[in-house]
Amino acid sequence: MAKAPIIESTGGTQAVDRAAALLTLVIEADEPVTFAELSEATGLARSTLSRILASLEANRLLERSGAGEYVGGPLFVLYAVRHDRNAELARLAQPVLEKIVASTGETVHLAVANGGRVAHVAQVDSTYLLGARDWTEIETAPHCSALGKVLLAWDVLATAEGSLETPTTATISTRQDLSRELAQVQARGFAVTRDELEVGLAGVAVPVFGPDEGVVAAIGISGPTARLEDGVDQMGRLLMEETQPLSRQLRRGAHTEGVA
């Protein structure tokens, strides 16, 4: 990190300038920033730097990763979710996706609603030789995929007008059947597909909740039907558990407290 001394201001703005400069360093950095790097870049005394960072954390402008490095806080997350949701969601979800792959060995996806369809915005590949294809940036009809069923069940997407697409003979083809399926998805907390988007492909997905308890995305597992079909309930429960921290992180950005 390049040397960037904090401007020594007068007129009572010194603390604001120091905090703003620290925020700029962290937000513009390509990777999480350590305390030592911030100390070297700013030239601030360690005690002063520690106090400012603590204040920025308390006001949710910065937060520390598990390794103790600094990244943008929940307020930046909230802003990004509202204004540039996909890129920030993908960044925040990456550790969750990787953890799920480590637990299951299967391909894991993050998807959002886009123009009435499902858009895959992040993926971590299976550890198996035979896994799912790369669906990143590929859009699919919602009712054909587990991810899409989640977005439909929580009203993030609306069912398209006209007849439902039926890429396989296993695809849900009537609105009555789809309504029953979506009710089941909400009741159990996760969606399942077997051979509905592509023959031989199965999936399980759960919602990711954000501000005001709204669903902002879905995270799912996909893989060969023969390997997944007997374990979908277990994988659904695993997904619900592993995605809770991400939902909590997104919710935290929704409520700001007054500065003392």
- Taking only the tens place, the pLDDT of each residue in 63-104 is 988 788 998 888 877 776 666 667 778 888 999 999 999 999
Q: What is the distance between the alpha carbons of residues 126 and 124, in angstroms, rounded to a whole number?
A: 7
On whether residue 260 sits in a domain, the answer given is no
pLDDT for position 12:
58
Q: Assess whether pLDDT exceeds 90 at residue 194.
A: yes
Which CATH number goes with the domain that contains 167?
3.30.450.40
Mean pLDDT of the chain: 85
Residue by residue, DSSP assigns 196-222 as: SSSTTEEEEEEEEE-GGG-EEEEEEEE
Residue by residue, DSSP assigns 24-85 as: HHHHH-SS-B-HHHHHHHH---HHHHHHHHHHHHHTTSEEE-TTS-EEE-HHHHHHHHHHSH
Q: What is the distance between the alpha carbons of residues 125 and 221, in angstroms, rounded to a whole number?
A: 10
Neighbours of 192 (CB within 10 A): 22
At 210, the pLDDT band (50, 70, 90 cuts) reads: confident
Q: What is the distance between the alpha carbons of residues 209 and 153, in angstroms, rounded to a whole number?
A: 13
Which CATH number goes with the domain that contains 53?
1.10.10.10
Domain that holds residue 30: 14-72
Q: What is the distance between the alpha carbons of residues 120 and 24, in angstroms, rounded to a whole number?
A: 30
Place of tokens 């296993």: 170
Tokens of 130: 């035979």
Q: What is the distance between the alpha carbons of residues 220 and 123, in angstroms, rounded to a whole number?
A: 10
pLDDT in tens, 112-157: 998 888 988 899 998 887 766 677 667 788 999 999 999 999 999 9
Has this prediction a pTM greater than 0.85?
A: no
pLDDT in tens, 39-53: 999 899 999 999 999
168 lies in the same domain as 221 = yes
Number of domains in the chain: 2
The dihedral over CA atoms of 212, 217, 223, 229, expressed in degrees to the nearest 10, equals 30
40 lies in the same domain as 92 = no
Q: Assess whether pLDDT exceeds 70 at residue 258.
A: no
160 lies in the same domain as 248 = yes
